[in-house]
Amino acid sequence: GAVVSQHPSWVICKSGTSVKIECRSLDFQATTMFWYRQFPKQSLMLMATSNEGSKATYEQGVEKDKFLINHASLTLSTLTVTSAHPEDSSFYICSALAGTSGDTQYFGPGTRLTVL
Amino acid sequence: QQQVKQSPQSLIVQKGGISIINCAYENTAFDYFPWYQQFPGKGPALLIAIRPDVSEKKEGRFTISFNKSAKQFSLHIMDSQPGDSATYFCAASHGTYKYIFGTGTRLKVLA
């Protein structure tokens, strides 16, 4: 149980275009999802907390107009990287809160974004 | 106070040996301490987690030791195998709030 999927697993796009990444909880409902960014050989950097039906809460330094997050249902959250630039190239990972106490995060497999 | 300090940064262990990774925290409000395993190009996978009301939790070859007074917790991997070679992250959280992650430990188990 507690499976989280992400789509796509990798994407290559041209500079200036927008890319949407989907995060789904497959066998549970998640009122809260998180979006992370990870650089090579580094820890996970939290970008934002996404709550179903409300606006996402962004971490300090994360541009909310560049990284649009939508959590329209209890099983789906999306991250849209708008007007992508090469510096946005990274590994993006989502997680969803589950567990009996609702404090365990289950992570998706990640999405590798490369902006040319 | 929101930091979780993880050590060592990297670790090399012989097959069959014990791998030990340590984490320390400052915020006494933290009440949930999970460990994640991450392989290259994959998302982190939950290994084992503990709450402050117990001092040790074991699941198979993985054991968490928790020292509330010292504000430290550690992951022990018994009988380490080459397949355990991965990056391990500790984390801490309070309630359903966000995780504070450690910096990660790259474990290599030699065959």
CB-based contact A93 B44, cutoff 8 Å: yes
Q: Does B30 touch chain A (CB under 8 A)?
A: no
B24: which DSSP letter?
Answer: E
Q: Does B104 touch chain A (CB under 8 A)?
A: yes
pLDDT in tens, A39-52: 999 999 999 999 88
pLDDT in tens, B40-93: 999 999 999 999 999 999 999 999 999 999 999 999 999 999 999 999 999 999
* Residue A54 pLDDT: 87
Distance CA B102, CA B7 (A): 9
CB-based contact A108 B43, cutoff 8 Å: yes
* Residue A52 pLDDT: 87
Q: What count of other Cβ atoms lies within 10 Å of the Cβ of residue B12? A: 13
Q: What count of other Cβ atoms lies within 10 Å of the Cβ of residue A2? A: 16
Give the best residue of A4, A44, A111 to mutate against chain B (max B CB count within 10 A): A44
* Residue A53 pLDDT: 85
CB-based contact A44 B89, cutoff 8 Å: yes
CB-based contact A103 B36, cutoff 8 Å: no
User: Which residue's entry shows tokens 């504070």?
Assistant: B100
Percentage with pLDDT > 90 across chain B:
94
Q: Does A35 touch chain B (CB under 8 A)?
A: no
Is residue A100 very low, low, confident or very high in pLDDT (cuts 50, 70, 90)?
Answer: low
Average pLDDT for chain B: 95
Contact B25, B34 (CB under 8 A): no
What are the C-alpha distances in Å from A38 to residues B39, B40, B80? 13, 11, 26
Residues 41-100 on A with a CB inside 8 Å of B are 41-44, 46, 49, 91, 93, 95, 97
pLDDT in tens, B36-48: 999 999 999 999 9
Distance CA B53, CA A61 (A): 36
What are the C-alpha distances in Å from A31 to residues A84, B18, B32? 28, 38, 19
Distance CA B5, CA B10 (A): 14
Is residue A69 very low, low, confident or very high in pLDDT (cuts 50, 70, 90)?
Answer: very high
The chain A residue lying nearest B96, using CA atoms, is A103
